[in-house]
Amino acid sequence: MGYDLIYSEACFLLNEGDAVELSERSVVDRVPKDLFIGGEWKKSSDGKRFKVEDPATKEVIAEVADGTPDDGLAALNAADLAQRSWGRTAPRVRAEMLRKAYELTVAQQDDLALLMTLEMGKPIAESRGEVLYAAEFLRWFSEEAVRVKGEYYMGPEGSMKILTQKQPVGPSYMITPWNFPLAMATRKLGPALAAGCTAIVKPAELTPLTMAAFFHILEEAGVPSGVVNLVHTTDPGGLTKPLVEDRRLRKLSFTGSTEVGKMLMAQASHNLLRLSMELGGNAPLIVFEDADLEKAIQGAMLAKLRNTGEACTSANRIFVQRGIAEEFSLALKTRFESLKVGRGTEAGVEVGPLVEQAAVDKVQRLVTDARNKGAKVVAGGSSFGPGYFYQPTIVLGVDSSFEIANEEIFGPVAALFVFDTEEEVIELANSTSYGLVAYLFTESLNRALRVIERLETGMVGVNQGLVSNAAAPFGGVKHSGFGREGGFEGIEEYLYVKYAAINASTL
Ligand code: NAD
């Protein structure tokens, strides 16, 4: 896989021969298992640890420090102290550190990818794709660090000059999910460090290892003590509350479920924190009769099965226009039935296990509800062991009243709806509280532009099943949250505008 390849279709589709040769044990053994606070690896304040499991085998692969609220506050102390100097570091210095971190991440992609596969299950080729995608945020924001600008101009009445400058928001707390253990953090750390903010990262308890390995990289890249801090815990609520209520904290960036996001937003209101909320999705994927069928199938495979369907951008509802519905579903069934499902470290595996038993139970509940309401399961439909596996599944004849149409499936299950008109499908696509991403397949430019305009989502994929790109603003509307990560917009989340009114008569 090429050095410069960002997270592209190739990562998902070309994984033949990617058998893992590295020793799993030695890669896990090399990862620091403690918390990283004020530039030192530390045990948790009460000495407790928690277990990390391989979802393909249910075996415990490591034990890591279980951070306490005291550890969280120690991390904030360190971040607050470091903020004073970090915010004034030359942008070029910050840029060079990010660039170094980018290079080290790319150089260590095999180890990072293996760790990711071991702790969350995705196929190794996809893990490599995520590592490279994650690294891109470091490269992109190393380039953005030196382009933060202000303005200086005469006020309209001529009596004063207006000077604006952008300054770092300050210590930022970042909470990330397990489904993209590295990229969801670099999407926050890249712009924060570029802008001059210090950080406390709390990764998901299911996937602490990849982030710990990455913190080792940040250390090697020369990021000063206290600028980045890592606290993993089995008590995210207990750790978070005192942090968001402490007035030294200035920003909360959260990626995770809408439910937790709303709760955190309420907590953060006490301290009026700057917020970025990257929340859940319920993406519609729309295939019009004038689509190129092969492109649509490729796009649906990627949008549905990337990350074993455990993605906020996953195609949750697949709408196919009546004239091609049968042809589309048969072609999709053929592709689904040829997929190799297994432990992500094995050569050729395209679909890994789900992350935990609760995920399998949820997918099963949604499929059972659809079946009970008259939908047809034409491929897959059950779970299997020894890990948390679920067969790639296709459910035909779904309608908006089914649970599967209204909840994030977060599994390898394609729910197919049939529609007749453009007007009807736009209405259906928008009939959800979420608004992260939509995909549409059509060979008509006019139709594409018309539909893009009317979809209530932050992002739209046109004739492709992937929108993620470090150079593009990722984010949603409605209950999918607010704020943008990546692109030119990403760094603004960590900057505030200071304005000075300068009396023109003094000039
Ligand atoms: P989750 O909300 O359960 O957990 C996300 C993070 O929040 C984890 O680190 C968890 O420990 C933490 N958390 C849980 N309860 C908390 C509390 N009370 N206080 C503070 N932190 C708490 O979500 P998940 O199951 O880990 O991740 C899947 C969800 O993330 C899905 O809804 C998915 O759509 C969403 N997601 C969104 C994006 C995006 O960019 N919009 C990207 C990836 C995932």
DSSP string, 238-264: HHHHHHHTSTT--EEEEES-HHHHHHH
Cβ-based burial of 343 (10 A; exposed 0-12, middle 13-18, buried ≥19) = buried
Ligand 1 pocket, residue 178 CB under 6 Å: yes
* Rounded-to-integer distance, Cα 475 and Cα 481, Å: 7
**Cα–Cα distance for residue pair 503/507, rounded to 1 Å:** 7
Residue 256 Cβ < 6 Å to ligand 1: yes
* 3 state DSSP class of 171: coil
Q: How many CA atoms lie within 13 A of 241 on its CB side?
A: 6
- The continuous run of DSSP H or E covering 118 comes out as helix 109-120
- Give pLDDT, residue 22: 56
Q: How far is the CA of 51 from the centre of ligand 1 (A)?
A: 19
pTM of the model: 0.96
Output the residue whose Cα is nearest ligand 1's atom 21.
Answer: 236
Catalytic residue among 278, 356, 485, 492, which?
278
- Report the atom number in ligand 1 closest to the C-alpha of 261: 2
136 lines ligand 1 (CB under 6 A): no
Atom of ligand 1 nearest to the CA of 481: 41
Mutate to test the pocket of ligand 1, among 312, 362, 436, 477 (most ligand atoms within 8 A of CB): 312
pLDDT at 23: 86
Kind plus residue range of the DSSP H or E element containing 403? helix 403-406
Nearest-atom index, ligand 1, CA of 259: 2
Query: Which residue from 487, 489, 466 is spatially nearest to 7, judged by alpha carbons?
Result: 466
**Which position among 119, 310, 312, 492 bears the catalytic label?**
312
Nearest to 197 by CA among 339, 323, 86: 86
State the amino acid at position 173 in one-letter form. Y
**203 Cα to the center of ligand 1, angstroms:** 9
C-beta of 177 in contact with ligand 1 (< 6 A): yes
Residue 57 CA to residue 59 CA, distance in Å, equals: 5
pLDDT for position 13: 41
φ and ψ of 254, to 5 deg:
-120, 135
Domains and CATH numbers, the chain: 1-30 (no CATH), 34-279+485-493 (3.40.605.10), 283-469 (3.40.309.10)
Strand locations in 21-133 (E): 35-37, 40-42, 49-54, 59-65
With a CB cutoff of 8 Å and minimum separation 6, the contacts of 181 are 116, 119, 120, 130, 203, 204, 207, 209, 210, 211
312 lines ligand 1 (CB under 6 A): yes
C-alpha 113 – ligand 1 centre gap (Å) = 21
What residue's CA is closest to ligand 1, atom 26?
177
Q: Give the C-alpha separation, 12 to 246, whole Å.
A: 42
**Nearest alpha-carbon partner for 183 in 443, 409, 429, 7:** 7
278 is catalytic: yes
- CB-ligand 1 contact for 309 (6 Å cutoff): no
| φ and ψ at residue 187, rounded to 5 degrees | -65, -25
pLDDT of residue 1: 29
Exposure string over 418-438, b if 16+ CB within 10 A, otherwise e: bbeebeebbebbeebebbbbb
If you measure from the C-alpha of residue 289 to the centroid of ligand 1, how many angstroms do you get, rounded to a whole number? 36
**pLDDT for the residue numbered 10:** 37
Give distance in angstroms: CA of 255 to centre of ligand 1. 5
Ligand 1 pocket, residue 307 CB under 6 Å: no
User: Residue 260 C-alpha to ligand 1 middle, in angstroms?
Assistant: 7
User: From the CB of 490, is ligand 1 less than 6 Å away?
Assistant: no
User: Looking at ligand 1, which residue's alpha carbon is closest to its atom 4?
Assistant: 256
Residue 435 near ligand 1, beta carbon < 6 Å? no
Residue by residue, pLDDT tens for the chain (507 residues) are: 233 333 443 344 444 444 555 589 999 999 999 999 999 999 999 999 999 999 999 999 999 999 999 999 999 999 999 999 999 999 999 999 999 999 999 999 999 999 999 999 999 999 999 999 999 999 999 999 999 999 999 999 999 999 999 999 999 999 999 999 999 999 999 999 999 999 999 999 999 999 999 999 999 999 999 999 999 999 999 999 999 999 999 999 999 999 999 999 999 999 999 999 999 999 999 999 999 999 999 999 999 999 999 999 999 999 999 999 999 999 999 999 999 999 999 999 999 999 999 999 999 999 999 999 999 999 999 999 999 999 999 999 999 999 999 999 999 999 999 999 999 999 999 999 999 999 999 999 999 999 999 999 999 999 999 999 999 999 999 999 999 999 999 999 999 999 999 999 988
Distance CA 177, CA 355 (A): 12
How many Å apart are CA 189 and CA 178, to the nearest integer? Answer: 16
Is the beta carbon of 280 within 6 A of some atom in ligand 1? yes
Q: How far apart are CA 296 and CA 299, in angstroms?
A: 5
Instruction: Report the amino acid identity of residue 404.
Output: I
Is residue 96 annotated as a catalytic residue, yes or no? no
Residues 357 and 55 sit within 8 Å (Cβ to Cβ):
no
Give the DSSP per-residue string, 48-65: -EEEEEETTTTEEEEEEE
Atom number in ligand 1 closest to CA 233: 11
The confidence score (pLDDT) of residue 20 equals 54
CB of residue 404 inside a 6 A radius of ligand 1: no
Q: How far apart are CA 204 and CA 196, in angstroms?
A: 25
Q: Which atom of ligand 1 is nearest to the CA of 187?
A: 40
Q: Is 201 in the pocket of ligand 1 (CB under 6 A)?
A: no
Atom of ligand 1 nearest to the CA of 202: 9
**Distance in angstroms between the alpha carbons of the first and the last residue of the chain:** 58
